[in-house]
Amino acid sequence: MKKRLSIIAPLLIILASNIAIAHEDSRQFVKLPKMMQKHMMSNMRDHLEVINEIVFYMANDQLDEAADIAESRLGMSSLKSHGAGHMAKFMPEGMRQTGTSMHRAASRFALRAQEGELLPAFNALSKVTSFCVACHAAYRIR
């Protein structure tokens, strides 16, 4: 019991300090026209859906399906359908770059997944989600 506490206590402290950090919102506010704001949020919900489907396919060893959906809905092939070109104009440079890096990472993931090895594919997927997290930590649009 004591041993378990000595592991849990530091974890709780780290967790609590992260929550404290999350409360002071230091994200940069990016003002978008109302329509674009809606459009971006709907893209975002689609991004999450895609990540969920990718994880599902990977759990079922369907790496080709994971690759297809990653490239067409999140990768470089998806930029046009997202209207990324229009939105990029309103974003600060750092945000634009993080967005591009995320789309590039998704295309790289698709290539890795096509090679058929689960572990390298997971590694490539974690790069994609790291860019999601990085952008969310730095920017807000409302």
In the complex with ligand HEC, the residue whose CB is nearer, 96 or 118, is 96
In the complex with ligand HEC, the residue whose CB is nearer, 90 or 139, is 139
According to DSSP, the β-strands at 139-140 and 28-29 are parallel
In the complex with ligand HEC, the residue whose CB is nearer, 51 or 113, is 51
Applying the rule CB under 6 A, the residues between 68 and 127 that interact with ligand HEC are 95, 98-99, 102
In the numeric block, which tokens belong to residue 86? Answer: 């229009």
Question: Which of left, alpha, beta for 116 (phi over 0: left; psi -120 to 50: alpha)?
Answer: left
User: Amino acid identity, residue 21?
Assistant: I
Per CB under 6 A, 41 contacts ligand HEC:
yes
Q: Please enumerate, as own/partner, the contacts of 59-66 that have beta carbons within 8 Å and a separation of 24 or more.
A: 61/118, 63/113, 63/114, 63/116, 63/118, 63/121, 64/113, 64/114, 66/110, 66/113, 66/121
For residue 64, how far is the Cα from the chain centroid?
Answer: 20
Distance of closest approach, residue 129 Cβ to ligand HEC, in angstroms: 6
Which listed residue (12, 48, 59, 137) binds ligand HEC by CB under 6 A? 48
In the complex with ligand HEC, the residue whose CB is nearer, 90 or 114, is 90
In the complex with ligand HEC, the residue whose CB is nearer, 99 or 110, is 99
In the numeric block, which tokens belong to residue 45? Answer: 């919900």
Distance of closest approach, residue 91 Cβ to ligand HEC, in angstroms: 7
Chain residues binding ligand HEC by CB under 6 A are 41, 44-45, 47-48, 51, 95, 98-99, 102, 128, 131-132, 135-136, 139-142
